Structure 1
Amino acid sequence: MRLSTSAKVIFGCAIIRSEVWSAKAKLRRALSNIYIPIRSLTIRPNVTIYPKYIKRLLASKNKIFNDLKANKIPPSQYLKFCKTVKHIINRYNSTRIKKLVSSSQGIHKFMKRFTKGHSPIPYLEHNGLYTFEDKAKCDLFARAFAPSFSNVPIQNHPILPASNYSSQLDDIDFTLIDIVNILKSLPPKEGVSADGISYKLLKNCTDSIAPFLADLFRDSLDSNILPEPWKISFITPIFKKGSESDVSNYRPIAITSCICRVFERLILQHILAHIEANKIISDQQFGFLKKRSTVTQLLSSFDAWYKAILNNQCIDCIFIDFKKAFDSVPIRYLIYKLSNIGIKGKLLNWIFKFPL
């Protein structure tokens, strides 16, 4: 069976009922066992891979050392060559580090080489009781995280003023090129959720999978039906600060379906375009927007402060930190606000069905 045909069987379906999706998931796992090879992983020590010119210098250094042992050259000649090689290696390492730290992602990758991996969760303490077993730890985390996923407010949402935007967004149009661009921009990560499909699989099979994802996304949006694996997430506790034995010092990270996250990116592009076209977001917001960050926010703030100082004006700063801000957003309020800014129709219904 060709890969394109296999992808069509796995992803290309006009009906996305749970039983159909489950059958295709089993077929995908079977085809993965056939077509995806398994190789042994050799873990090598953390050594620096030098370019060819340094490798040649190191080889020459070994040759000169052998000549030194055979009394063919004086020790001073060997020591002089060693200093030259050391200087060239130090210069190469310095240039490499400067190149790595020039970007935010580069410095994080560089520091990970010198830090330990994720350590297992230690014993947990709750109400004076100590928990050591993994299953008991999971139950304890589940009880601690449950309030974050059940934030249903009792009171009604505040009434927002009626919006008067020039356009509404009730559906999205996307092409095969849009999906291909998203798939190619995915990080090559191997983490999976309930459907067993990773970013790496989607990225490496872009040309074969993209046409069938387009049909799947369109069918899901038109029918207002989400496959069951899209509604399932793996919750990972991430330690923040304080005592590692206190469950309140961990925050939940939900790992959802990679295919669904691709569709989320597609929807997000259209929502952001709608927001920018109607100028819904304030110019004073710098978070979660392209070409804006904490750096640009600080530059803007410092500029305003300097102008105030030059004009002999007072400066008052108020810092507010919302506890568990993302987890405490009432979903019903969020849906109402989306409707208020012009998100309507099948798009709003699809978002409402999504387990936010």
Structure 2
Amino acid sequence: METTHRVFVGDSRDLSAVDDESVELVVTSPPYPMIEMWDDLFTELDPAIGDALAAGDGYDAFEAMHAQLECVWDELERVLVDGGIACINVGDATRSVDGSFRVYPNHARVLEAFEERGFEPLPDVLWRKPANSAAKFMGSGMIPPNAYVTLEHEYILVFRKGARSREFEPRADRRYEAAYFWEERNRWFTDVWTDVTGELQSIDGSADDDLRERSAAYPLEIPYRLICMYSAYGDTVLDPFWGTGTTTLAAMCAGRHSVGSELEGAFLAVFDDGVDEVPALSRSVGRARLERHRSFVDRRRDEGTGFEYEADYYDTPVVTKMERGIRLREVRAVDGIEDGYRVEHAPLSLE
């Protein structure tokens, strides 16, 4: 099996390099409005944003920043297939503007924008991204009433394009082989993820300070999990805010195609420096899933509960009939092509 992974340097408000209705899943984390590290970027897109911030008008700046993101949401509506899923990782912002401290609810604003474009909101996920500062508590210390709750969670907003889910041909191998284990379903499809922690993406030491500062992104587990949850083998995953390429890396490990758009070309060179490590990483990810399942089997048997089914491709029982066809993939080779990478996959090696 082969997958392709295209990456374009450009403005994600214009995804003309991506065909209409050619993407089954979007997994992305945009720059968060009203987070200071993104002020310069948003001001470059619309100088009125910088003027609003300078004038102490936080609300106008907030709305203008989201207006820029909405240009990207328009493109997502165009490129997603009917029934396709968009997963948007976003955090709210806390900020003092003109002496007034408040929360800027990015998740609510994104939710509103997607609904305006005809997307159907689905249940979302909260996950904890610990603050990096030791002095993370805000306000008046131990004296009431002027302290503030620490903002450490982020949202994964999930939307479906249109009212109907995607349809597949009966018993489609690419769908059943992409199944997840019963216990993975129970863990992944909960509304609060406590087993994923935030981290900064590692950037090569040759990267400049500005690039390193912009490298904060979600950990690999988040896009990998979402790709497994909301796509099948053969599907294409889009990340319009590609950054360090975490979504593409997850798609490679999960055996899906991917497309990315990134404004800063230097990130592509950093990603390219690490592609030789992808085969080993993909094997590690796949084997870890299988090992966790076998540990689950042992615990379940210790509790006196048996199994009715056996996996077709692995020497292990499974809980449900739908899990029997699970077939994990690993990356065997990554080759550069004109606008990205071609990846060769094979069934997961257990040796």
TM over 0.5: no
- Rg: which structure is higher? 1
Pick the structure with more strand per residue.
Answer: 2
Q: Which bin holds the TM-score, normalised by the shorter protein?
A: under 0.3
